[in-house]
Chain A
């Protein structure tokens, strides 16, 4: 490209974007307001993290992670039960929600005839479920537990059911998006070679969509790890002094989660508990930001363009 045509192109670009006319006071103020609204949230987030980190600074010690909660020694109270409980809950939630969510999404994308009323009903219903208040899922999980025959409150299984129901719509919606992004040519090529719809889905579509599905699933799980409301309803205790056993027996033992312990300590008046809660918040944020970072890394590393 010659210098003249490059200049012409950049001038055209400037004129057609409207940027050249942005010089009056009104539009500069407007641009400033847009910048402000974009960074306001980040500002709040920074204030939140800095303030919490300063409040929690005296308690960044090993006891925070290795001690159980203690009402008698507030300066040594720890969150071992909550941290292990949250991780354990996460695993159970993933086992319950991920296969179900992916299957439902595959049905809706690959098999369903969208003109049928029942398939449209499922779609509208999914959009609706994604916006149902999380506390209502806790009530539903309570009822499901009563049906299965567990009257003891606060068992890990109940919490996992509540969280799985909560993130199921999220997983279905993100999986559908990543399945839809797989080009039609790949399916047609497979079908033309004589593969059935399921063979095409299992061997071509699903492997291509896995990075997107993994991203969506991790984001869904990182939402579940921070939820406290449904777990309060299911009856998660806070002063649990043991960690659930790894394995099927652990499902029916009572447990607690990190957000529930934070909620409980927030309303305590003693300063030591507030300090401990602040430190626990930083631990929770590190866990969640770590999961988010993992999702972003997966998305950037495996993102394909066809």
Chain B
């Protein structure tokens, strides 16, 4: 290969040194640095493995596997008791609580997030966008414990009970869901704006040339074209809502309930974990292990949502 790359100079190379082939030069320092950097990158995979390993051990101690001895405090829980609708060790009320809050949050966040994204991508001038986008993203910077306090001390007593005169409890899923929705708006707005901005201009110009106005272009051309990107944003927003802790721990309450009444309090999965670790539960006790089993369920749920979101993103990249 290197012989064919030497047309320059006299054919007999008179007076010229042979070119140095650097392609296989050993550079020990370089290799060490590369190895160090690779180690740092691989650490991210180690974190994931670490999460799974961390969660598995107490989960094994928690369940009543066939043919295994009793746990540290002589108690193991049957699968039937875990996947039950009521009881001390039932996870289904927690899942219902999480889903309730998540659905209310998405009802708030999806229309508002998409509206903000549509304005930023289709209507705003570049100058306006430069200011409006960070303003929307400011909402994501507010700590969730502050949102939780706001839901508990303003949304429930002042907004829901006094102004709207609803019969809501001191802690309720409605307030938690509404505030959680506000928190998720920037996630959905930012990602859908990326997806909508990626729609080629020729498609908009085609629509406008046919006599459509900006609303028709946005709704009938840009939205469908960006749909898989928007779907990815919504799924990722859902994953954020499912995993959020402080708002549901403060505002959604600590009652395990298996119903879908938004006016009453429900305990969510993250709220249960926070409550268990905030209280006095010794390492290895059944409630302690149950918290890990709930965390495992939560981790698997968010993992599935993230994978679904990534599949949507990949599809939307393939279109153009």
Q: What is A's interface to B at a CB cutoff of 8 Å?
A: 15-19, 21-22, 24, 26-27, 30-31, 33-38, 40-42, 44-45, 47-48, 51-52, 55, 100-101, 103-104, 106-108, 111-112, 121-122, 124-129, 131-140, 142-144, 165, 168-169, 172, 196-198, 219, 222-223, 225-229, 232-233, 235, 259, 262-263, 266-267, 274, 277-278, 281, 284-285, 288-289, 292, 296
Choice from A27, A138, A168 contacting B214 with Cβ under 8 Å = A27
Q: What is B's interface to A at a CB cutoff of 8 Å?
A: 27, 29-30, 33-34, 36-38, 40-45, 47-48, 50-51, 53-55, 111-116, 118-120, 123, 132, 134-136, 138-139, 141-150, 152-154, 158, 182, 185-186, 204-205, 207-208, 211-219, 236, 239-240, 242-246, 249-250, 270, 273-274, 277-278, 292, 295, 298-299, 302-303, 305-307, 309-310
Query: Is B50's CB under 8 angstroms from A144's CB?
Result: yes
Query: Is B134's CB under 8 angstroms from A37's CB?
Result: no
Interface majority SS (helix, strand, loop, mixed), chain A: helix
Query: Is B54's CB under 8 angstroms from A134's CB?
Result: no
Query: Is A37's CB under 8 angstroms from B119's CB?
Result: yes
Known pairs A41-B182, A135-B243 / 18 extra A-B pairs, C-beta < 8 Å: A34-B116, A34-B119, A42-B135, A42-B138, A100-B40, A100-B43, A106-B37, A111-B34, A125-B44, A125-B45, A131-B302, A133-B244, A139-B292, A198-B34, A223-B141, A228-B246, A284-B146, A285-B142
Q: Nearest chain A CB to B38's CB is how many angstroms away?
A: 5
Bound CA span A107–B42, Å? 10
Query: Is B51's CB under 8 angstroms from A132's CB?
Result: yes
Query: Is A127's CB under 8 angstroms from B306's CB?
Result: yes
Bound CA span A40–B30, Å? 52
Chain A residues near B278 (CB, 8 Å)?
232
Q: Nearest chain A CB to B36's CB is how many angstroms away?
A: 7
Query: Is B37's CB under 8 angstroms from A262's CB?
Result: no
Q: Nearest chain A CB to B189's CB is how many angstroms away?
A: 8
Query: Is A135's CB under 8 angstroms from B145's CB?
Result: no
Q: Nearest chain A CB to B210's CB is how many angstroms away?
A: 11
Choice from B44, B145, B303 contacting A259 with Cβ under 8 Å = B145
Choice from B51, B208, B239, B244 contacting A140 with Cβ under 8 Å = B51
Of the candidates A108, A136, A223, the one having the most CB atoms from chain B within 10 angstroms of its own CB is A136
Query: Is A226's CB under 8 angstroms from B145's CB?
Result: yes
Instruction: Name 19 interchain pairs, CB-CB below 8 A, sorted by A.
Output: A37-B113, A38-B120, A38-B132, A45-B142, A48-B147, A51-B150, A103-B40, A122-B44, A127-B306, A128-B48, A136-B51, A144-B50, A198-B29, A227-B143, A229-B249, A274-B153, A277-B149, A284-B143, A289-B141
Which A-chain residue is minimally distant from B50 (CB atoms)? A140
Q: Nearest chain B CB to A212's CB is how many angstroms away?
A: 15
Query: Is B143's CB under 8 angstroms from A129's CB?
Result: no
Q: Nearest chain A CB to B192's CB is how many angstroms away?
A: 12
Query: Is A112's CB under 8 angstroms from B299's CB?
Result: no
Query: Is A281's CB under 8 angstroms from B51's CB?
Result: no
Of the candidates A15, A17, A126, the one having the most CB atoms from chain B within 10 angstroms of its own CB is A17
Query: Is A168's CB under 8 angstroms from B141's CB?
Result: no
Choice from A26, A31, A35, A104 contacting B41 with Cβ under 8 Å = A104
Q: From known contacts A37-B113, A45-B138, infer whether A131 and B239 are also in contact, taking CB-CB under 8 Å.
A: yes
Which A-chain residue is minimally distant from B278 (CB atoms)? A232
Choice from B111, B145, B153, B250 contacting A55 with Cβ under 8 Å = B153
Which B-chain residue is minimally distant from A229 (CB atoms)? B245
Query: Is B302's CB under 8 angstroms from A18's CB?
Result: no
Query: Is A263's CB under 8 angstroms from B246's CB?
Result: yes
Query: Is B154's CB under 8 angstroms from A124's CB?
Result: no
Chain B residues near A124 (CB, 8 Å)?
310
Q: From known contacts A37-B119, A122-B42, A136-B299, infer whether A143 and B277 are also in contact, taking CB-CB under 8 Å.
A: no
Query: Is B243's CB under 8 angstroms from A132's CB?
Result: yes
Which B-chain residue is minimally distant from A50 (CB atoms)? B154
Query: Is A108's CB under 8 angstroms from B150's CB?
Result: no
Bound CA span A114–B41, Å? 13
Chain B residues near A233 (CB, 8 Å)?
273-274, 277
The 9 closest A-B CB pairs, nearest first, are A226-B143, A133-B243, A37-B115, A107-B37, A21-B213, A229-B245, A103-B40, A27-B215, A143-B54
Query: Is A139's CB under 8 angstroms from B295's CB?
Result: yes
Choice from B45, B142, B243 contacting A48 with Cβ under 8 Å = B142
Query: Is A196's CB under 8 angstroms from B27's CB?
Result: yes
Q: Nearest chain B CB to A82's CB is how many angstroms away?
A: 12
Of the candidates A112, A267, A288, the one having the most CB atoms from chain B within 10 angstroms of its own CB is A267
Bound CA span A106–B213, Å? 46
Q: From known contacts A134-B243, A233-B273, infer whether A266 and B44 are also in contact, taking CB-CB under 8 Å.
A: no
Which B-chain residue is minimally distant from A259 (CB atoms)? B145
Query: Is B149's CB under 8 angstroms from A266's CB?
Result: yes
Query: Is B213's CB under 8 angstroms from A22's CB?
Result: yes
Query: Is B139's CB under 8 angstroms from A41's CB?
Result: yes
Chain B residues near A36 (CB, 8 Å)?
115
Which A-chain residue is minimally distant from B250 (CB atoms)? A266
